[in-house]
Amino acid sequence: MKKLIPFAIVFFLIFIITAAFAQTKGVKKKSPPRHEYGNVVINNSSTKNKIAPVVYNHWLHRAKYTCRLCHVDIGFEMKAGGTGITEKDNKNGLYCGACHNGKEAFAPEEKTPNNEVKKNCDRCHSYGKAVAFEKDFYQFTKDFPAGRFGNGIDWLKAEEKGLVKLKDHIAGISIKRNVLRDPQDIYIKARKVGMPDIIFSHKKHSVWNGCEMCHPDIFGIKRGATKYSMQDIFAGKYCGACHGKVSFPLLDCQRCHTKGVK
């Protein structure tokens, strides 16, 4: 019995140290399956109304629409659950209802050729359910250029090759925008010795985000006015507002730090 006491003490100390480390330094999270990367669970009122929460799959929507269209024109918050969507809003053509109206995309209810009413609730309210979706991620993306992390797709190359054609306008919601000339690439000096500098491409980002998604809410208009660090980005701010959540994760350092070291 006496021999077990020291072991118990050691075990307890290891447990305390591990717990403290997890609280202060964080624990590496397990990467989700590729088809789930970027998914958002929307549960503003679903559980309260005894219905399964909505699982929003970013991969399918980003293959058809620009991020700007949803987060600027339609008005979705960048933070999951921040918009406060209601069923009434959708029925009035707002938020999800801007597209899911039976014209742009499937409606909550549709009439079959036999004039019967088909409900599509489970196609959105799918959390915890075994729903067979019309589009399978792996089949849909089998010819897309591969990426190393996230959902394993290089979406920039997929767009450049014409494998995805992004819609950036919804009639009755989007306003006509003048075409702006993309600013030149920006070189951002890396603070770590030996780390390649960052080449930020306005052109690549403007295809998906326009200007409004980043300026002025995330980054100021004047160059150098916004001060941030990698810790801020890891915390989900600035570049981290997208990267690590929907865009390629921060593990893929070489996607941003691309300028050669002299």
Q: What is the pLDDT of residues 169-226, one digit of tens each?
A: 999 999 998 888 888 899 999 988 889 999 999 999 999 999 999 999 999 989 888 9
- Residue 242 CA, chain-centre distance (Å), reads 6
Q: In this structure, what is the dihedral angle of CA atoms 87, 92, 94, 97, given to the nearest 10 degrees?
A: 70
Q: Is 109 helix (H, G, I), strand (E, B) or coil?
A: strand
Q: What is the pLDDT of residues 81-95, one digit of tens each?
A: 899 999 999 999 999
List 117's β-bridge partners, or say none.
Answer: 111
Domain(s) of CATH 3.90.10.10: residues in the chain: 34-138, 179-262
- 4: pLDDT strictly greater than 70: no
Q: Round to the nearest angstrom and report the end-to-end CA distance of the chain.
A: 64
Task: Centre a 10 Å sphere on the Cβ of residue 218 and count the other Cβ atoms it contains.
Answer: 17
pLDDT at 192: 86
Interatomic CA distance for residues 254 and 257, integer angstroms: 5
Give mean pLDDT, residues 101-116.
93
Give mean pLDDT, residues 149-165.
96
What the block records as the tokens of 17 is 């140290």
Q: What is the pTM for the complete model shown? A: 0.83
The whole-chain average pLDDT of the chain stands at 88
Interatomic CA distance for residues 175 and 104, integer angstroms: 17
Task: Centre a 10 Å sphere on the Cβ of residue 126 and count the other Cβ atoms it contains.
Answer: 18
pLDDT at 17: 41
Task: Centre a 10 Å sphere on the Cβ of residue 14 and count the other Cβ atoms it contains.
Answer: 10
For domain 34-138, say whether CATH 3.30.930.10 is its number: no
For domain 179-262, the CATH architecture is: Alpha-Beta Complex (3.90)
Interatomic CA distance for residues 222 and 199, integer angstroms: 17
Please give the single-letter amino acid code of residue 68: R
